[in-house]
Amino acid sequence: KVRTMWALIMEMLTSLKKEKEVVDSVLHGLEDCVGQCVLDGTNVVFSVPRLLAHRVESGIHQVCTGNVYEAEKLNFLTVIQLLNEALRTLRDEHCQSELKQQIQVFEDKITLCNKVLQDLEAKRLEIEQQHCVSVSGSISRKQDWKAKWKSFLNWCPFNLILDQHPVSSVQFI
């Protein structure tokens, strides 16, 4: 166990040495190019886009607590707050475009449902008309049949059937 722990510690130290060498080489490269390494925010020009400045100034979220520059140095806290607000703005714009797409999908579904509803209402009316025609046809056939029997026998066979059954003449109280 001790050997594996020692191996892990040595591996971690080796990786840290490699990372330090990389950072040193980058900083050394910057010193060669510029002559100095700027890590404190001095002599850094930072510009804020108008949309972001307007959003921050309008005080939607009250995000920024200070100026971008303090004592001629960049205020990193304010810069981070501005970057967070920029990310919020991008998120809001992205969400709005997603909402527009979702609204379009819902509008298409509503249009489809309205068309299906109209088709179903047309079918219902057609079925109702067919039913009315069949019922009226049945009634007219029944009346024709009744008229034929009445003209042939001078009375209706339905009355004969009703007269033979005493139940049909019972009156309920």
- Structural domain boundaries of the chain? 1-37, 38-158
So what's the pLDDT on residue 97?
Answer: 79
Quick one: which of 129, 130, 153 has its CA closest to 145? 153
Ranking 50-54, 63-67, 77-81, 116-120 by mean pLDDT, the lowest is 63-67
| 104/99 Cα distance (integer angstroms) | 9
**DSSP state for residue 64 in the 8-state scheme:** -
Report yes or no on whether pTM surpasses 0.85: no
